[in-house]
Structure 1
Amino acid sequence: MTENLLQIAYKAIDDKRGEDIVVLNMQNISLLADYFIICHGNSDRQLQAIAKEVQDKAEESGYNIKRVEGFDSARWILVDLGDVVVHIFHKDERAFYNLERLWGDAPQLDVQ
C-alpha cells in the first residue's frame, strides 16, 4: 500500500516537471515516515502546482492528506501523506537545506 502511494506521488511530481526527484527509504532510520520524496522546481507557481497535483492524485486514489506546510510562501512545501512525506523545494532552498546529505544514511530508491 505504501509503495502504491509512493508511485502515485512520484508520478504526480514527474507530471508537473519536478526536477531531480530523489526517493529516500526512511524505514529503520526515522519514525516520521517510511519514505521521503525530495524534488525542486524553479518558480513559486511550479512548486504550488506540484504540491496540488500530489494532493489531488493521492486523494483520487483514496489516501488522506495529513498536512501541507509552506504552500503560500512556496519556498519549501511539505506534503505529509503519512508513510510518504514529499518535500518540494525552490531550487535555492534545496541546495541550502540539502536533505539528501542530512539523511545521508538513508538508501536512495530508483522509482520510475
Structure 2
Amino acid sequence: MTDKQQAKATKALVNAVVEGIQEKKGKNITVLDMTGIENTITSYFVICDGDSNVHVDTIADSVEDYVRKKLEDKPLHVEGKSNAEWVLIDYMDVVVHVFQRPIRSFYNLEGLWADAGRKDLADLF
C-alpha cells in the first residue's frame, strides 16, 4: 500500500470511528492529528466522552461494531472495559479514547498533545 493509500484508509477509519461514536451519542468528539509530530506511535487519537460507565461501554462497543461492519477491521487491543471509566481501542494508526468526563478532564490528552492538529466534531474531514 502506498503512503497515499494508507493515509486515505486511515482517514476512512477515523470517519468510521466518529460515526460509531455518534451512533451512541458520544459527546465532545475531538480528533488529534499526530502525523506532524515525530516519534508518535499512532497517526490519530479520537477522543470523546460519555455520561456513565454504561454509556462509555456502549460507545466503545458501537465503535468496534461500526468499524467491523463498515471496514471489516478489528482493533489490535481494547483496554479498560472492566470499569469503563476510560476505554482505549487501538487500531494502530488510530487510537480511540472513550472517557467519562471527569476522567477525560483529569488526563487532559488534548493538553498533553497540544502540538497535534486538533479538529472538533464540526471540523472533521
TM-score normalised over the length of structure 1: 0.94
**Residue 37 of structure 1 aligns with which residue?**
46
Identity level (%) = 39
**Residue 83 of structure 1 aligns with which residue?**
93
Contact preservation (8 Å) 2:28, 2:48: yes
Work out whether 1:108 is the aligned partner of 2:121: no
**Structure 1 residue corresponding to 2:66, chosen from 57, 67, 71:** 57
Contact preservation (8 Å) 1:10, 1:111: no
Stretches of structure 1 that go unaligned for 5 or more consecutive residues are none
Stretches of structure 2 that go unaligned for 5 or more consecutive residues are 1-8
Any runs of at least 4 consecutive aligned residues in structure 1 with deviations exceeding 3 A, and if so which?
Answer: none
Answer 1 or 2: which has greater helix percent: 2
**RMSD of aligned C-alpha atoms?**
1.2
Contact preservation (8 Å) 1:75, 1:89: yes
**Residue 14 of structure 2 aligns with which residue?**
6
Displacement of 1:72 in angstroms is 1.0
TM-score normalised over the length of structure 2: 0.85
Contact preservation (8 Å) 1:36, 1:86: yes
